[in-house]
């Protein structure tokens, strides 16, 4: 934007009501409308988040139509597992570059919804079950995309944690978990990276459609978090257009043929909608257009396809989680004969189905890439199983050939996973089990050789009933177009695995915290687990899991020592720890910091992740790693006070290799926020005791009563206090005597609530 470019508000002031209303909805499926006479061009928005899916303007939303070839980077399930914000930002830059070359103004991503259940069909597009991981990874991706003059669109805002009935269902979630779990990642991205747009979700939240919720789109997003961009609807997410624009939902997509534009005009004409509301939305749209114009032309083509494919391979290798590696089964020796078994080795599952489906510039497969490492005559392939009913091969014959091959080779690398139809946008999974024929194949292979490596291809976690029988397991997720090469890199040690799980792998689906509440009934989904999402639930209930959140092995080992935590002048906590690579290979360790407060007076998880860092170390190298735990991240949402509150006390900072592999510990005292809630007759006696003004008065009244009087109980009488501390203050008047009369209680409340001069 040049100095001569009019400000958005100035441009909007010159538009008619009809022109302003028209700008608030799409012109085609993928473009906005323009007003040529006012110098407002149309701009294009396209699907992401792991690759550009630019279709013709007549294309569809779910990927049935073709799209231009683009680099398919690892989806969020794989990219997030790197826990490396620097790498993620580089991928974001590449995505921004490809979008800019194709004249795309906004890339629709990243997806930040919490993985509440492994059944969510769209989990492959989401980062984690934890909001800090989601927020940090999401902010890095936004920074990278927007550094190329292209906008990001953080989605799906908010509490969109299932695909079943996603366009109507109400996510009924209490305010503390809504704030602390489901909104916190979005807040992190908005405050740290200021995305150009936020996409509102289809669903309702506590009965109100996200697209028409002023609390969500204006009070929280703009007034509290300071978001200054545009809110765009998910495609078809608008229920009532006039209500949505009044709530702060600026741009409705896709085109609706002008139907809802007319509704806006009519509402302004009849006085039910202020024209100033339309002006605000239109100003935000013009501002987005000007931002995209300012960045246009900064990135020149053609696309360096080879460089982006190499980055995709690097990112894929960094997203592979080594779950298990007994007897140093991995890496595979270059002289070993290898049986590569499983259709996914030849025809990889590299992305999920639905609106994010990218047409890749090329596609690696693990079978060929393994053959490159193994050398001539050392790698052999068998299909092993079918994934489609259209495959007319004989299943028994496929299994027999695979078992025969495994028995004759040094190592069997068995590719197992979910068929594409098992997980996709638009519907949820029914279970977390691998197909029966794949499990039967694994059993048969284990019957002829103990040297088995399982490589998993799946967009969300699967049950691993064989985990104690297989020496090596690699969670390879969905890794994008270069995943086949990346898997071979890890199998043969060219890449030392460093990824960590961003979601817990349970032993059974029944152990998942949302098990009894997922899916919902009668259009409502009760988030009955509250704060206890993912690892928070498993730790609170002390449940065994297959592999914990944050887990991931390496071909080297790391030692943690000398942990120290100190509170800075701004209240943030600096946590320092010494990390040493004690093995003989260069590697990376994801250092995780979990916090807890033993003497907390509120319900809390056992521990919560608050910071992390990916640290590269050469063999024998030692590095002092410093991470900052933000004071704001230690706060909980106080429902009564309607604000964030940091509870005072001695906080524990566990420095860990996973949520259950705690390596070092430090403590630091935190000064709590002053919290003085107004007293009412419904306030409890315990709350009155804790009040800085009322507390001493109540104690004085009680001390004046004689022994045996119920009103003479003092706070130090622990057992008796437990019995009556929840009694409403107003009901103390029922006890004999005049010390707690109704008049006394009312005077006490008035004194406690009287305005006081600041100290």
Count of residues for the chain? Answer: 759
Domain with residue 655: its CATH number is 2.60.40.10
Q: Which of 275, 241, 239 is nearest to 261 (CA)?
A: 241
| pLDDT of the residue at 298 | 82
Number of domains in the chain: 4
Say if residues 80 and 502 touch (Cβ distance below 8 Å): yes
The answer to whether the Cα torsion of 361, 364, 365, 367 is positive or negative is positive
Looking at residue 209, what is its pLDDT? 98
Output phi, psi for 325, to 5 deg: -155, 75
User: 691 and 660, same structural domain?
Assistant: no
- Please state, in angstroms and rounded to a whole number, the distance separating the CA atoms of residues 633 and 640: 19
Q: Do 456 and 406 share a structural domain?
A: yes
Per-residue burial over 175-188, b = 16 or more CB atoms within 10 Å of its CB, e = otherwise: ebbbbbbbbbbbbb
Q: Cα(382)–Cα(385) distance, rounded to whole angstroms?
A: 9
Helix axes of 184-193 and 131-146: crossing angle, nearest 10 degrees: 30
83: left (phi over 0), alpha (psi -120 to 50) or beta: left
Question: In whole angstroms, what is the distance from residue 451 CA to residue 341 CA?
Answer: 13
**652 - beta bridge partners?**
596, 667
Structure token pair of residue 23: 């700008």
- Side-chain half-sphere of 214: how many Cα atoms within 13 Å? 6
Residue 679 in domain: no
Residue that the structure tokens 């005049």 belong to: 738
Strand locations in 216-287 (E): 230-233, 252-255
Q: Are residues 480 and 567 in the same domain?
A: no
The tokens describing 419, both together, are: 């068929």
Rg, C-alpha atoms of the chain: 29
Which pLDDT does position 363 carry in this prediction?
98
Residues 592 and 728 in one domain: no
Contact criterion met (CB below 8 Å) for 105 and 153: no
Q: Are residues 199 and 325 in the same domain?
A: no
Q: What angle separates helix 305-318 from helix 483-491, to the nearest 10 degrees?
A: 50
β-bridge mates for residue 567, sequence order: 573
Q: Assess whether 320 and 227 both reside in one domain.
A: no
Q: Which pair of tokens denotes residue 558?
A: 């790391």
Give me the CATH number covering residue 178. 3.20.20.300
Last residue of a domain, one of 249, 277, 301: 249
Q: Give the closest residue to 251 by CA, choosing from 10, 22, 72.
A: 22
Catalytically annotated residues: 234
Give dist(CA 345, CA 347) in Å, integer: 6
Whether residues 162 and 53 fall in one domain:
yes
Tokens of 627: 């991470």
Strand-strand pairing, 45-47 and 338-341: unpaired
Residue 528: inside a domain, yes or no?
no
Say if residue 714 is in the same domain as residue 657.
no
Q: Is residue 538 part of a domain?
A: no
User: 3-class SS at 691?
Assistant: coil
- Domain stops at, among 473, 501, 522: 522
CB 68 within 8 A of CB 359: yes
Q: Give CA–CA dist 462/286, Å, rounded.
A: 45
Q: Give Cα separations from 458 to 75, 524, 576, 582 (angstroms).
A: 11, 28, 36, 32
Eight-class DSSP state of 674: P
How many whole angstroms separate alpha carbon 576 and alpha carbon 343? 46
What's the average pLDDT block by block, 10 residues per block, for the chain (759 residues)? 81 97 97 96 95 77 73 98 98 97 96 98 97 98 97 98 95 98 98 98 98 98 98 97 98 96 98 98 98 87 96 98 97 97 97 91 98 92 93 92 98 97 93 97 98 98 98 98 98 98 98 96 96 98 98 98 96 98 98 96 96 98 98 97 96 98 98 88 85 83 59 59 78 70 87 70
> Residue 340: helix, strand or coil by DSSP?
strand
In a domain, 13, yes or no: no
DSSP of 4-26: TSPPHHHHHHTS-HHHHHHHTEE
Widest Cα–Cα separation across the chain:
98
The verdict on 215 and 322 lying in the same domain is no
Q: Is residue 306 part of a domain?
A: no
Same domain, 323 and 456: yes
CB 332 within 8 A of CB 411: yes
Residues 743 and 663 in one domain: no
> What domain range is 416 assigned to?
316-522
72 within a domain of the structure (yes/no): yes
Torsion, Cα 651 657 663 666, to 10 degrees, reads -20
Can you tell me whether residue 541 is helix, strand or coil?
A: coil
pLDDT at 59: 60
Tell me whether residue 8 is in a domain. no
Residue 114, in any domain of the structure: yes
Whether the Cβ atoms of residue 155 and residue 510 lie closer than 8 Å to each other: no
User: Does 323 share its domain with 218?
Assistant: no
- Report the run of H or E that residue 559 belongs to, with start and end: strand 558-567
């Amino acid at each position: 934007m040049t100095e001569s470019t009019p400000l958005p508000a100035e441009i909007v002031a010159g538009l008619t009501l009809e022109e302003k209303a028209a700008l608030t909805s799409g012109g085609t499926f993928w473009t906005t409308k323009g007003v040529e006479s006012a110098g407002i061009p149309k701009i294009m928005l396209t699907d992401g988040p792991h690759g550009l899916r630019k279709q013709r303007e007549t294309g569809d939303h779910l990927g049935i139509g073709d799209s231009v070839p683009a680099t398919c980077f690892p989806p969020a399930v794989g990219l997030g597992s790197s826990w490396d914000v620097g790498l993620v930002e580089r991928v974001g830059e590449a995505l921004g570059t490809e979008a800019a070359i194709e004249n795309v103004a906004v890339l629709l991503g990243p997806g930040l919804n919490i993985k509440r259940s492994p059944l969510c069909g769209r989990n492959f597009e989401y980062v984690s079950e934890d909001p800090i991981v989601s927020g940090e990874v999401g902010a890095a991706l936004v920074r990278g995309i927007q550094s190329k003059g292209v906008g990001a669109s953080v989605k799906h805002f908010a509490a969109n944690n299932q695909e079943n009935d996603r366009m109507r269902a109400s996510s009924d979630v209490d305010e503390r978990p809504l704030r602390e779990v489901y909104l916190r990642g979005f807040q992190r991205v908005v405050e740290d990276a200021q995305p150009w747009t936020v996409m509102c979700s289809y669903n309702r939240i506590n009965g109100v459609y996200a697209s028409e919720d002023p609390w969500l789109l204006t009070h929280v997003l703009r007034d509290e978090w300071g978001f200054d961009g545009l809110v765009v609807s998910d495609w078809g997410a608008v229920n009532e257009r006039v209500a949505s624009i009044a709530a702060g939902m600026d741009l409705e997509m896709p085109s609706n043929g002008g139907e809802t534009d007319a509704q806006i005009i009519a509402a302004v004409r009849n006085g039910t909608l202020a024209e100033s509301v339309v002006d605000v939305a239109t100003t935000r749209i013009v501002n987005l257009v000007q931002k995209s114009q300012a960045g246009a032309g900064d990135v020149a083509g053609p696309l360096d396809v080879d460089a982006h494919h190499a980055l995709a391979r690097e990112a894929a290798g960094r997203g592979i989680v080594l779950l298990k590696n007994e007897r140093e089964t991995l890496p595979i020796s270059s002289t070993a004969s290898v049986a590569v078994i499983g259709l996914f080795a030849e025809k990889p599952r590299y992305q999920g189905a639905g609106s994010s489906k990218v047409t890749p510039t090329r596609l690696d497969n693990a079978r060929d890439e393994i053959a490159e490492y193994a050398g001539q005559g050392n790698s052999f392939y068998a299909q092993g199983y079918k994934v489609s009913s259209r495959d007319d091969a004989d299943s028994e014959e496929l299994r027999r050939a695979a078992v025969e091959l495994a028995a004759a080779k040094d190592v069997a690398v068995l590719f197992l996973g979910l068929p594409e139809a098992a997980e996709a946008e638009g519907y949820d999974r029914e279970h977390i089990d691998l197909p029966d024929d794949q499990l039967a194949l694994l059993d048969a292979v284990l019957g002829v050789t103990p040297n088995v490596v399982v490589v998993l291809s799946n967009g969300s976690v699967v049950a691993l009933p064989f985990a104690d029988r297989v020496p090596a397991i690699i969670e390879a997720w969905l890794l994008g177009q270069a995943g086949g090469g990346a898997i071979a890199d890890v199998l043969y040690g060219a890449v030392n695995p460093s990824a960590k799980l961003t979601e817990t792998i349970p032993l059974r689906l029944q152990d998942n915290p949302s098990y009894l509440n997922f899916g919902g009934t009668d259009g409502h989904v009760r988030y009955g687990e509250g704060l206890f999402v993912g690892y928070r639930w498993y730790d609170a209930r002390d449940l065994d899991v297959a592999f914990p959140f944050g887990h991931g092995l390496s071909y080297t080992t790391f030692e943690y020592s000398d942990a120290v935590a100190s509170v800075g002048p701004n209240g943030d906590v600096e946590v320092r720890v010494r990390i040493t690579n004690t093995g003989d290979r260069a590697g990376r360790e994801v250092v995780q910091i979990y916090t807890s407060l033993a003497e907390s007076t509120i319900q809390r998880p056992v521990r919560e992740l608050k910071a992390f860092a990916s640290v590269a170390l050469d063999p024998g190298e030692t590095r002092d790693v410093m991470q900052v735990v933000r004071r704001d991240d230690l706060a909980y949402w106080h429902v009564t006070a309607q604000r964030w509150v940091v509870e005072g006390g001695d906080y524990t900072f566990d420095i860990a290799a996973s949520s259950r592999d705690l390596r070092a510990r430090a403590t630091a005292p935190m000064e709590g926020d002053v919290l003085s809630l107004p007293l009412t007759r419904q306030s409890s006696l315990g709350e009155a005791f804790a009040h800085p003004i009322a507390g001493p008065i109540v104690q004085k009244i009680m001390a004046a009563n004689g022994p045996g009087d119920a009103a003479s109980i003092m706070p130090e009488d622990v057992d008796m206090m437990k019995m009556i501390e929840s009694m409403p203050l107003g009901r103390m008047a029922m006890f004999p005597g005049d010390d707690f009369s109704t008049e006394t209680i009312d005077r006490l409340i008035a004194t406690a609530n009287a305005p006081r001069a600041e100290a």
